Amino acid sequence: MSRPRFSKEYRTYGEWLKAKPRDTRYAKEIIRKHLLFPDKSRSQLVKLKISDYDLSKAGWESLTPLQKIERNKSLQILRAMRKGANLSQMTKKFDMKNKDAIKHLGQYLHKENGRWKATKSDSLQVEMGFYDRNEGHITIITTSSKDRFLLAEYRDAVEKSLKDGETERLAKYEDIKIVDADGKVHHFETDLDRLYEIMEAQEEPEFLEIYQN
């Protein structure tokens, strides 16, 4: 089945793209939508809602259970791409389609010389495990790659300290705080005895999987 005419003036998307510089906000939006929906006409792309093609702006709580799984996979893909991995190779590894990963990563991916590249940072929300000084082991919704990286480092420090009893590596988190998606401030638990107590009280003493940037 042939694709519909792209617009009244241009038969194909390629003709539209090459006709003149496409550097306006409107044109860039059409280009991004076309990457995800190459079979749609310009008028169809214009009518697409942002939620139809970009979930990167969606908060964690607004995602469906399936979308949360896809968000977690997409974050692992994004992390790998920041280290030089190829998008298609990573989506294949995590059993995803390119368009689904792009839909979740949105503005944090861009094309450079025909290849998808990842931005250095992002503001994607994801639920992560955390040892809170006042609440014990809880989950919080982080809002940036910076916070994900911080929690990953903290997790590593906690796991090592619980094994060898050394407390020095936890000291750096004594005065650090993290703010979740709801604006609530959390303080890191750095007391090793308290961490042992929390671990013993847990039925399954494991962190939820944490994704670094």
Confidence band, pLDDT 50/70/90 cuts, at residue 113: confident
User: Per-residue pLDDT for 210 more than 90?
Assistant: no
Contact 72, 126 (CB under 8 A): yes
Contact 43, 52 (CB under 8 A): no
Task: Reply yes or no on domain 60-118 having CATH 3.30.160.
Answer: no
Domain boundaries in the chain? 13-52, 60-118, 126-201
Residue 148 class from Cβ within 10 Å (0-12 exposed, 13-18 middle, 19+ buried)? Answer: buried
Q: pLDDT, tens digit, for every residue of 26-37?
A: 988 888 788 777
Task: Give the model's pLDDT for residue 205.
Answer: 44
- Please give the structure tokens belonging to residue 116: 């998808």
Mean of pLDDT values over 90-112: 92
User: Per-residue pLDDT for 208 more than 70?
Assistant: no
Confidence band, pLDDT 50/70/90 cuts, at residue 84: very high
What's the predicted TM-score (pTM) here? Answer: 0.74
Q: pLDDT, tens digit, for every residue of 178-199?
A: 999 999 999 999 999 999 999 8
Mark out the alpha helices in the chain (DSSP H runs).
Answer: 13-19, 25-36, 42-47, 50-53, 65-82, 87-93, 98-105, 145-164, 192-201
